Every structure is written in structure tokens, then in C-alpha cells.
């Protein structure tokens, strides 16, 4: 536990320095939201209706931002080999690194969602439902992204390949996330049903993704 705690604190410090950490994800999130009125038009009725979908797509892309470097910097300086050869389980290492990444990228996006939702003219109900759905769904996006990061860690400029591998796996999370955010606004589906499915997807990803990512890292080292 001491080793995992030290790894967690180290990843938080490195993440804040490398690429801006939380600020880079929030700024990217903001840019995507700010561009939408230029592409769709200034009609607030249209923007408020599709606002949850816009926030979810922007959140998906912002969450995956920087995941290609989740293991890359450790591989470049040789610390990844030492971590995998230690007595600490590889699955626990992956889980701790994903937790640090989510705290630096996913959590700030969730906190910023109500503010950016106001820019799209969303109602208070839509704002809190979208915020809750992103809080429940972004852990699944981070864990799925860790699988792609582990598969492409040995490749130069593997970020694009990681996105191609992972984005199809994120479609169920996106579907139920948008369904939960849109519940009760002309949508007969209640909020709780897609929200619970979204929570189940995140729990399944947290339970299974560390094993897949750790296996990919060990295969890369063989």
C-alpha cells in the first residue's frame, strides 16, 4: 500500500506538470463547447436540446486527451519495467494510475459541466442530470482508455491508434450517458434506468480493464 500511495502521489505531481494536467483537459472541453454555436447556429432552443449530447461528446474527447501518455513517460525513463518487475500487482498499478488520471482530467470536467452547460442554454434539470451522468461515466472512459494506452505504449505516435481502438468501445457509455442526461425532457425513459446502467458499465470497466491493461503491458515487456 505504501508503494501504491507513492505511485499515486508521483503520478499526480507528474500529471500536473506534463501537458498542463487538469487545465489542458478543461480548456479543450471549453473550446469544443464554444465552437458548437458557430457550427450549429446561435438558436438556444436547438443548443439546449442537443446540449447534453454536445457535453458528452466533448467530455469523451477531453477524457481521452493525454491517455496515450499514461504509460509512455514511464516506459521512456525505464520506470515502467521496474514497476512491472516489482512485487506490486500490475493490475493495482494500472488502477492507481487511472485514478490519478481521472482526478486530473475527469473530475475537473465534471465540475466544469454546469458552467459550460449554461453556455448552451440548458435547463437546471438537464444540467444536473448531465453532470451526474458524466460523474458516473467518465471512470469507464478512463479505464477503457487505459487498455488502449497499454496496447500502444510501445508505438511512437500511438495516440491516433489508441483512439481508433478505444472509441468503438466507448459507444455504450456514450449512449447511456446521453440517455440519462436527456431523461425527462420529452424522453419517456426515466433518469434512473440509464444512470444505473452507466454505473454498471463503470464498475465493470474498473473490475476488468486493469487486468486487460496489465496483460498488455506484460506482453509488451516480454
First to last CA, the chain: 26
Tens digit of each residue's pLDDT, the chain (222 residues): 677 888 888 878 877 765 555 577 788 888 988 888 888 887 888 888 888 899 999 989 888 877 877 887 777 777 777 888 878 888 888 999 899 889 888 898 999 999 888 888 888 888 999 999 999 999 999 999 999 888 888 776 666 788 888 889 999 999 999 999 888 666 677 888 899 999 999 999 999 999 998 898 888 766
Residue closest to 87 by CA, chosen among 16, 1, 156:
1
- Among 48, 43, 28, 36, which Cα is nearest to 129's? 48
> pLDDT at position 218, please?
83
Looking at residue 222, what is its pLDDT?
Answer: 63
pTM recorded for the entire structure: 0.88
| Distances, alpha carbon 161 to alpha carbons 12, 18, 47, 157, 209, in Å | 25, 21, 32, 8, 18
Q: What is the pLDDT of residue 199?
A: 95
pLDDT at residue 205, rounded to an integer: 94
What pLDDT does residue 9 have?
Answer: 85
- pLDDT computed for residue 163 by the predictor: 81
pLDDT of residue 138: 93
Q: For residue 198, what pLDDT is reported?
A: 94
From the CB of residue 156, how many other CB atoms can be counted at a distance below 10 Å? 7
Alpha carbon distances (Å) from 208 to 15, 55, 92, 96, 140 = 24, 27, 12, 14, 10
**What pLDDT does residue 201 have?**
95
Predicted local confidence at residue 22, as pLDDT: 59
Amino acid at each position: 500500500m505504501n508503494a501504491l500511495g507513492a505511485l499515486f502521489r508521483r503520478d499526480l505531481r507528474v500529471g500536473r506538470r506534463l501537458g498542463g494536467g487538469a487545465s489542458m483537459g478543461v480548456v479543450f472541453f471549453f473550446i469544443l463547447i464554444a465552437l458548437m454555436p458557430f457550427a450549429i447556429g446561435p438558436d438556444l432552443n436547438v443548443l439546449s436540446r442537443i446540449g447534453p449530447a454536445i457535453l458528452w461528446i466533448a467530455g469523451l474527447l477531453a477524457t481521452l486527451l493525454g491517455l496515450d501518455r499514461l504509460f509512455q513517460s514511464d516506459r521512456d525513463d525505464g520506470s515502467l519495467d521496474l514497476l512491472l518487475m516489482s512485487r506490486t500487482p500490475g493490475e493495482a498499478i494500472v488502477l492507481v494510475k487511472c485514478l490519478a488520471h481521472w482526478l486530473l482530467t475527469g473530475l475537473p470536467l465534471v465540475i466544469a459541466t454546469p458552467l459550460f452547460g449554461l453556455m448552451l442554454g440548458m435547463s437546471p434539470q438537464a444540467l444536473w442530470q448531465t453532470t451526474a451522468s458524466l460523474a458516473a461515466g467518465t471512470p469507464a472512459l478512463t479505464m477503457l482508455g487505459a487498455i488502449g494506452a497499454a496496447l500502444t505504449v510501445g508505438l511512437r505516435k500511438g495516440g491516433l491508434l489508441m483512439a481508433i481502438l478505444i472509441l468503438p468501445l466507448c459507444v455504450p457509455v456514450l449512449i447511456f450517458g446521453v440517455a440519462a442526461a436527456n431523461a425527462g425532457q420529452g424522453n419517456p425513459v426515466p433518469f434512473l434506468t440509464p444512470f444505473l446502467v452507466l454505473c454498471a458499465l463503470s464498475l465493470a470497466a474498473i473490475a476488468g480493464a486493469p487486468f486487460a491493461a496489465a496483460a498488455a503491458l506484460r506482453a509488451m515487456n516480454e
